[in-house]
Structure 1
């Protein structure tokens, strides 16, 4: 009698097996799609960081041109820059990296560029985590609260409101 119950239970579990396998394969497909999206986001973040570095180089290059005319060559196209980077050895003088020269105003722009939302950790963000600020990003770095009790946003990132140091007060 016990073997009959065991056999019935076994047959019932085998009948449900295809549904469970289907559900597991569907779950694996969803996880694979999520990882592909995460990889794509990481690639986009890397591209964004590279473009920000190019922008910073251009800003430093404009400081060089104004200070002594020895900086980066004007009119150099984006394709030429991309072609000379990383494919071979640098041979010409214009391809060698320049030292930073700080003027009074460039320190402020360097501080803003160094604290940018794209410098956030490269970890996946929990979709249930609340977003803040005008940029609708999650909480990271230093943030400042709004004094207005009717403010719908309440918290702002320092970089988004052009702050570099904590203001005095509460």
Structure 2
């Protein structure tokens, strides 16, 4: 039931993801079309310029070149927009992956707590049963003094298999050893994370809490280690 609850909540959270991804992919496709149109426009402007450059006045040449430059600038804008959309797609998917990791961690903790509780209840039952057995044994010993020293009763006191049992070990669900670790804490990805803008950062990704963040800062962000290295330089 617990696993089903976690699964239903997670499926609810990703219900809108396909539509969001489709929207971004459609916008990227439109940007591709606009870029191709601009490239055709640049080719025509360039051919026009080459054909008429000898007959154009200096001011006309400058104006024509500016039109070509403007078309190139538009192509760059479209490309930058495409990159931003691709980053949004990555962040959307990565956000749900991190949520899944966090849900799995919570599920494992809940399962562990449940098993701990079950083990505790089992121990209480055994203790109650042990107390009852001891009362019965004391009654038997009071009834007949000679029986208390008999080998058969001594054996009964020390060899009850139920009393000798220990609570079973709690099921521990370790992290997959193949899963990559990140951050200053060297733990797996979970919750909100932020990437260091130093391309040579050896760690790259950090948990918000570990670097004292509650929201994503504007502009470039560098991790404490890279910030310290930059100060040294």
Please, what TM-score do these two structures have when normalized by structure 1? Answer: 0.40
Q: Give the number of the structure whose residues are more often helix, by fraction.
A: 2
Q: Which has the larger radius of gyration?
A: 2
